[in-house]
Structure 1
Amino acid sequence: METQQVTPTIWMLKFAVGQAYALRLPDGWSLVDTGLPGHAEQVLAALRRLDGTGCADLRDIVLTHSHLDHVGSAADLAAATGATVLAGAADAPVIRGEVPEPPPVLEDWEVPLWDAVHANMPDLPPPGPCPVDRELADGDTLDWGQEVRVVHVPGHTAGSIALHLPRTGVLFTGDTIANVEQLMPGVFNVDRAQVLAAFHRQAALEVETACFGHGAPLVGGAGEALRAVARQLGGPAT
Structure 2
Amino acid sequence: MRIDLDGIGINVTDTGQGPAVLLLHGWPDTHDLWRHQVAALTAAGYRTIVPDLRGLGDSDKPGSVEDYRMMRLVGDQAALLDHLQVPKVHLVAHDWGAAIAWAMAALMPERVASLTCMSVGHPTAFAAAGLAQRQKSWYMLLFQFPGIAERWLSQDDFRNLREWAHHPDHEAVVARLRVPEALTASLGLYRANVPPESLVAPPPELPPIQAPTMGVWGTEDLALVEDGMTGSAAFVAGPWRYERVEGAGHWLQLDAPDRVNRLLLDFLNGQ
Q: 1 or 2 for the larger relative contact order (CA 8 Å, sep ≥6)? A: 2
Instruction: Settle same-fold status: TM greater than 0.5.
Output: no
TM-score by length of 1: 0.37
More strand by share: 1
TM-score by length of 2: 0.34
More helix by share: 2
